[in-house]
Structure 1
Amino acid sequence: MILVAVTFFGLMALGMPVGFVLGIAGLVGIYDMGGGRFLMMAPDRMFAGLDLFPFLAMPFFILAGEIMNKSGITSNLAKFADSLVGWLRGGMAHSNMVASVMFAGITGAATAEAAAFGTTLVPAMVKQGYSKSFACAVTAAGSIIGPTIPPSTLMVIYGSIMGVSIAGLFAAGILPGLLIGAICMTVIAAFGKRWNLPKSARRPSIKAIIVAFRDSFLALLLPLFILGSILGGFATPTEAAAIAVFYALVLGGLVYRTVKFGDLYEMLVRTIRITGVVFFIIASATVLGWWMTFNQIPQAIAAAFLRISEDPQVVIGLIIALLLFIGMFMDINATLIILAPVLGPLTEKIGMDPVHAGIVIVLALNISLMTPPVGACLFVLASVTKEKVESITRSLWPFILAEVAVLMLVAYWDHMTLAVPRLLGLVE
């Protein structure tokens, strides 16, 4: 066990990609258990980790997001959001957050949203007088709404490996995602005068709102197709993801005519790269996870938590603290795959509903996407805007604290979190 820990943290310190770190640490553990003959099981474990039908939804959702980005939907959604709330103090910051909620129902990837808004809304906010660091901070804070409101690739991963209803997780993510958007807008409104945020001279006319809604109407239908088909029981998440790709192709290629046939190659390559990285991390983490299970490490960690306290409220707090801390230093997909089998049984022991536990875990890891030093959304925004990560982080702290407050509400008020799944009959 010590050898595996030294290998894992040593390779992480050297900057090796996390997929290789997980795989090598797992191989070291397996070899230490039974020598070379045990290593023969590694390929089988890696394949078994990916041999789950719901995982097919991930590349479809990613591709749908790529197509929608290319079709210019991002700009239309931003214009509609601006027509609704752009007249408030800090109007474009509010618009950014509202657009994030709308965009969340189209693609479940925070980094895709950060990249899309980093190249469109951030320059527009800077032009209106916002500092670049604040514009990036607002975009980063809103980007995690993407993998919280369905569709969400993290929920697909968690539901697949833990045997939890993906439809239930999707339904449970709706209210927390909306709460994140609302509390971030509250932060913007509360500090608007103190930060001297710009304010529009006048409200838009009803006609301008109607025109903006008309231009974005077809894009706004996509989340309804995805959620309606899944929550209504008409399609699995994988089938709904395929429908989303088809709808996005029709919208971008035939309606808006902004997506050309030649663009498909580039979008497919990006989708393959993103999916390949995630799947490699999953496969490698499966090897390490199998070694951990064989050595009963999940049970040991659960017992250690329960030795600290058997009070469910305390255990939930410890789980959240662990996820937020590890998420600061490690890829969230890898963290989810390694810790879900550890924390899942622990949450069952303290009486948490599996869907409730899944949402708490996913939301905690989503917040890690914008926390230094390795928050993926921070680096995406720094890359596309040329702003320093340190400057973005300084402007981001009020939003991080606000979103952690939402996480606590979600964790400790299960009736609110499970209200939508119960209404739809997805949980008891």
Structure 2
Amino acid sequence: MLIWFLPLFLVILMIGMPVFFALLAAPGLLLYLDGQERMLATLYRNVFTGIDSFPLMALPFFMLAGELMNRGGITLRLVEFSQAIMGHLRGGLAHVNILSSILFAGLSGSAVADTSALGSTLIPAMEKNGYTRKFAAAITAASSVIGPIIPPSGIMIIYAYVMGESVAALFLAGIVPGVMVGVGLMLMVRLLADRYDLPKAERIVKKDQTISATENLIARVLARLNMIGVLWGLHVLVASLLGTASLPPLAGLIGFAVVSELIFTAARKRMSEPARIVYKRAVVPLQTPVIILGGILIGVFTPTEASVIAVAYAILISFFILRSMKLADLPAILMRSALGSSTVLLLVGAAVAFKTVVALSHAPEELAEFILSLSENPYMLLFLINILLFIVGMFLDAGPAIIILGPILGPIFVEIGVHPVHFAIIMSVNLTVGLATPPMGLVLFVASSVSGERVETISKAILPFLAVEVVVIFLITYFPAISLTVPRLAGFIQ
């Protein structure tokens, strides 16, 4: 009888019960009818044990860091920075929207936060510049799925927790796919620019911006340190590829410091003063992903500790460097992040409890036999599983879907030769795109709320962008190097 847990779960969902309660009601009812009342206590106890995890503590802290960044005026700075870079292109504000999502992804890792924060700023601006509201809402929703792909990523933390994978490896594996989604969306905007007569734009650089002497000094130092780090990383990479020895540390640092200063001197001559201020105002906020990934890569802290560092850094820059927040702002920020975190963690706990019945029902074994009986060709199986995940993502949030389907599908594809990290990225990206897929994509409803446009209207306008994201999914699926090269170079996978 327990094999009917999934159909019953879907029926309960369709009648309108919230996902959290559906995840517990479906298996609970079947256990009761099957005469296994003792298992009911285990089922509901697993809600707590599923949440009681040190790695999962990263989720609420990353969400809090995103809230602090947003309230501290970081979002507006990223938008201004994106406008200065991309605003002059045809369909400029659409490109700005996408680039802002890429940058914001390194701060929050949440598609919903991306849609809400950027949408409230960019959708009115795009409409004012001649874009239709439905197009502005659609590109905002489509680009927001980049948030959970580029690190830090909440769903990848969940996947690593459930499947026992390295969070750092998953974070690194998501960088290239996330950038590919962004570039693909930009190419689609360019294709649509002439067809839909998207507005032309001039380079948008606000001329009334100011920067304090303290932030100016910090930005200059950080920018040069970043450039030295990039040059050093390229040098080490080239030296390893050519099989030659690297420069001595001191000589290398001095040399790269000189080169970086020459680069900034040349760039300064080509930029106006307002443009330089806009770029400097973005330097401090953009250190967040650098600190998170840099600390994890060099082994200074774990991903969970990195999330705490992100919160501390957000407080530091918002209160003491940018001075854009007051103590009176903290209660509302803590309340919003607590509500968001509790929602996600309750879903995780319920999904872990749901997984108990999955194991008891022997559904994984039966599903594995069924999938492997469909075809012996791994490429065909990957195609079919992408279709399945895409459909699941339309109706079920990415976190619960990963916890429910990950333990079932992961071992099947690892058995036929798919790398565990590669499958993790396939699953994560696919389910993330589902957040923007009609009829039940969560970010569609958020975009509708922010823009005031009907979900049905946004759903039609988003279809060209969803097509791009589906193409990227299949590229990731059939070319493993796209997701595995960066973590392999960093030494996190073999």
* TM-score (ref. length: structure 2): 0.84
**1:3 Cα deviation (Å)?**
5.1
What per-residue deviation string (whole Å, max 9, x for no partner) do you get for residues 84-140 of structure 1?
Answer: 110010011111111111111011100000000111011111111111111111111
Cα deviation per residue 1:28-68 (whole Å; 9 max; x = unaligned)? Answer: 23334443222221233222322321100000000000000
- Report the CA distance between 1:390 and its aligned residue: 1.3
Q: Which residue of the partner structure matches residue 84 of structure 1?
A: 85
> Match of 1:156, as an amino acid?
I
Please tell me whether residue 300 in structure 1 is matched to residue 366 in structure 2: yes
Match of 1:358 among 413, 424, 448: 424
Q: Deviations 1:165-208 (Å, cap 9, x if unpaired)?
A: 11000000000001011010001112211111111246868224
Within 2, Cα distance between the matches of 1:302 and 1:258?
54
Quote the Cα distance in structure 2 between the aligned partners of 1:425 and 1:202: 41
Query: How far has the Cα of 1:5 moved from its partner?
Result: 4.3
Unaligned runs of 5+ in 1: none
Secondary structure in structure 1 of the residue aligned to 2:21: helix
Structure-2 separation of matches of 1:52 and 1:352: 28
**Cα shift at 1:71:** 0.8
**What is the distance in 2 between the residues matched to 1:36 and 1:416?**
48
* Partner of residue 271, structure 2: 206
Q: Does 1:349 align with 2:415?
A: yes
Tell me which residue corresponds to 2:162: 161
Q: Superposition pairs for residues 403-414 of structure 1, below 5 Å?
A: 403-414=469-480
Contact 1:27–1:287 at 8 Å: present in 2 too?
A: no
Q: Matched residues in 1 for 2:323 and 2:317: separation?
A: 8
Alpha carbons 2:84, 2:203 under 8 Å: kept: no
1:241 paired to 2:307: yes
Q: How far is the alpha carbon of 1:7 from its aligned partner? A: 3.4
Q: 2 CA distance for matches of 1:203 and 1:220?
A: 20
Name the counterpart of 1:65. Answer: 66
Contact map agreement 1:29 1:288 (CA 8 A) in 2 = no
Match of 2:465 among 399, 420, 428: 399
Distance 1:386 1:31, change over 3 A: same
Task: Output the TM-score relative to the length of structure 1.
Answer: 0.97
Mapped partners of 2:458, 2:298: distance in 1 = 41
Number of equivalenced pairs: 428
Q: CA deviation at 1:332?
A: 1.9
Please list every run of 5 or more consecutive structure 2 residues that lacks an aligned counterpart in the other structure.
206-269
- What's the counterpart of residue 252 of structure 2? none
Structure 2 residue 258 is matched with structure 1 residue 257: no
* 1:256 aligned partner, one-letter code: L
Amino acid paired to 2:163: M
Equivalent residue letter for 1:12: L
**TM superposition shift of 1:25:** 1.0
- Against the structure 1 CA distance between its residues 201 and 211, is the aligned structure 2 distance closer, same or farther, given a 3 Å change threshold? same
Give me the whole-angstrom Cα distance separating, in 1, the residues matched to 2:374 and 2:13: 29
Counterparts of 1:185 and 1:373 in 2: how far apart (Å)?
24
Cα distance change, pair 33–348 in 1 and its aligned pair in 2 (3 A) = farther
Amino acid at match of 2:419: D
Cα displacement string for residues 194-226 of structure 1 (whole angstroms, at most 9, x for unaligned residues) = 111111246868224322111111001111001
**In the TM superposition, what is the alpha-carbon distance from 1:2 to its structure 2 partner?**
6.0
CA distance in structure 2 between the partners assigned to 1:297 and 1:263 by the alignment? 49
Deviation at 1:366, TM superposition (A): 0.7
Matches within 5 A, 1:300-339: 300-339=366-405
Alpha-carbon distance between aligned partners in 2 of 1:335 and 1:390, rounded to the nearest angstrom? 24
- Tell me what 1:18 maps to: 19
Counterpart CA distance in 2 for 1:270 and 1:203 is 32
Matches of 1:258 and 1:416, distance apart in 2: 39
Inter-partner Cα distance in structure 2 for 1:203 and 1:65: 26
